[in-house]
Structure 1
Amino acid sequence: MNTNIDAIFNLLAGTARGWRGTGITARARKTPEKVLKLYDIEISPFCRLVREALSEMDLDVMILPCPAGGKRFRDEARKLLPGTKFPMLVDDNTGVVMNESADIIDYLAKTYNSKLKSQQGFGRKVAVGSSMLASTFQYRVGGFQGMKARPSKAPAEPLVLYSFESSPYSKPVRARLCELEIPYLLKNTPKGAMTDMGPPVFRDKLFKAPQGTTRNRAWLSENTGKVQVPYLIDPNTGVAMYESNDILRYLDKTYGA
């Protein structure tokens, strides 16, 4: 599908969720020493809720993809927590292993000192319903993006992806990483100010404001000269690149069977 058309559907998905996971609205005041791990399915509406929370809290997380038919991380997850459903969080800082998205979000907010609101009661029903609606916009010819495993080669080391949850151009990349069962460190890159809003070319020319409004946006600005997502780093090959179409082609060529 044309990238711009794909982005329109992803914009609709973001709208359905009220653009949750876009800005740093509930910054965590405590940073975990050891990286959090999330056993995740990109298309799952419940996984989306946890990824939104992590983005709004400005917490990085190691994503371990568990698409339908996947063999790389699903069994591993179920050994850690028999009968688990996804998402499943592993926090090596506290020894916690848990599922149920609402409980995970409450745990993260409490443990890492965030003002993120609890998703319980009626608010929980609204969140789940709108997240399910958002997932319907991920349907493409052949099925839902980020749902089923594709044959792939495992990387020796996890990849690194700069992204924020509602980014319309990041979503296809995260979906492909999920389908290929490629683990990656998700460097959440939420917007930190109104001057961050809009496409990079338009935004930077209009506002001419500082780009480093959050820690990972500051890193991109200092190390690449611009702030744009998705940005992929592959430590296995030394490749670092912008542009979702280029990233998708790279992933298919390098790790597709």
Structure 2
Amino acid sequence: MRGIKALRRTLFRPRTPITRRRIMAGILNFTSLPPVSRPLSRPHKAKIPSSSSRVSVIRSSTEVSETSSTPSSSVKEEPQLGFSAITPPPNFKPPEPKRFSVRPDKVTDVVTASLNLLFRFGTGVFVSGYSVSFVPKNEIPSGQYGLEVFGFIAKESSKLGPRPEKPIEIYEFEGCPFCRKVREIVAVLDLDVLYYPCPRNGPNFRPKVGQMGGKQMFPYMVDPNTGVSMYESDDIIKYLAQKYGDGTVPLSLSLGLLTTLTAGFAMIGRMGKGSIYTKSKMPPQPLEVWAYEASPFCKLVREVLVELELPHILHSCGRGSPKRQELYARVGHFQAPYLEDPNTGVKMFESAEIVEYLRTTYAL
């Protein structure tokens, strides 16, 4: 009887809410729910962290539950993560781009990465306001990008909204259907985005989201142009469409649960690729990639960028994007994906070779 009374006093005496939760969690032995089944919090606006605490200075942190709040009193100043010397592989030479070709050992990867075109009805292939006209090849001036079809050139154009001065910042990872929805609106609006990959067990950006927004929940968007930051994929989509488009959300992104389900089905073939952290070197500068969400070749490169937790600026360049002409004028060729690594000076096409380069250069 004395033992029972002592236990009662231990359990029911006044304690802080955090202590009570810990006691009850220990008694009931709760485990966290899978990410898709977790409830989503409402969006909020938050002041952008100062330059001293922004993730441009990358710091290491301890992994915590995806949905657990991080009290401000428990956030400690962490040691700055040291950058390793980054060098390209020995005797590395970028491959010559090969149009419409698949390396034999990558056929299965390309096929499984193409399922998104079926389940997502091609969302992210075309830029907002896309239109095309066909003109004879001899009417197109040299130096102008165009897709040749049976002796004609397809002149593609689009109608874009206001352009952000600074890249939108998005914290996300590949194997998340909610993150995929946001990447699709990025492609539709033809935005440049600074992606901070947050794979499971990633030591840098996943914990940082908990510090900035209070939860490790993804995607998380920061717009340095307006000072707005928010969770919730649907609210991020509406915000981006209103701020950098004509306010219209594409039908394929406005079907609620059906949109999320099909976004999940689109990733079945990849079996969680791009979701789990692979130990890597942290680059001093973000990599730059020309790519777009619906391309299976771009998907394979993005998966590795996320697994290696490599921050990268993605120049979205779906069909109708003016950035296709920009890249064509810059390097004399257009093909996606295209990688520029400012840390090594490497510039290259070809998804299979880009994947090998990233793993050889950055994986530990």
- Interval containing the TM-score (normalised by the shorter chain): 0.7 to 0.9
Aligned counterpart, 1:56: 188
Q: 2:171 aligns with which of 5, 17, 39?
A: 39
Q: CA deviation at 1:13?
A: 2.2
Instruction: Indicate yes or no: 2:347 matched with 1:244.
Output: no
RMSD: 1.8
Q: Measured at CA, do residues 79 and 36 of structure 1 come closer, stay the same or move farther in structure 2, by a change above 3 Å?
A: same
Amino acid of the residue matched to residue 225 of structure 1? Answer: G
TM-score (structure 2 length as normaliser): 0.61
Aligned counterpart, 1:228: 335
SS in 2 for 1:175: helix
Instruction: Answer with 1 or 2: which has the greater Rg.
Output: 2
Which portions of structure 1, spanning 4 or more consecutive aligned residues, are displaced by more than 6 angstroms?
A: 118-122
Q: 2:220 aligns with which of 74, 88, 96?
A: 88
Q: 1:145 aligns with which of 268, 273, 285?
A: 273
SS in 1 for 2:301: helix
- Where do 1:35-184 residues align within 5 Å? 35-117=167-249, 123-139=255-271, 144-184=272-312
Aligned counterpart, 2:161: 29
How many residue pairs match? The answer is 232
Q: CA deviation at 1:119?
A: 7.2
CA contact (8 A) 2:181 2:253 kept: no
TM-score (structure 1 length as normaliser): 0.86
Aligned counterpart, 1:11: 114
Q: Greater share of helix residues, 1 or 2?
A: 1
Q: Which runs of 5+ in 2 are unaligned?
A: 1-103, 130-158
SS in 1 for 2:179: helix
Q: Which runs of 5+ in 1 are unaligned?
A: 193-213
Between the two proteins, what is the percent identity of the paired residues? 37
The separation in 1 between residues aligned to 2:114 and 2:178, in whole angstroms, is 19
Instruction: Indicate yes or no: 2:339 matched with 1:254.
Output: no
Instruction: Indicate yes or no: 2:316 matched with 1:188.
Output: yes
SS in 1 for 2:255: helix
The separation in 1 between residues aligned to 2:262 and 2:179, in whole angstroms, is 13
SS in 1 for 2:266: helix
The separation in 2 between residues aligned to 1:84 and 1:151, in whole angstroms, is 20
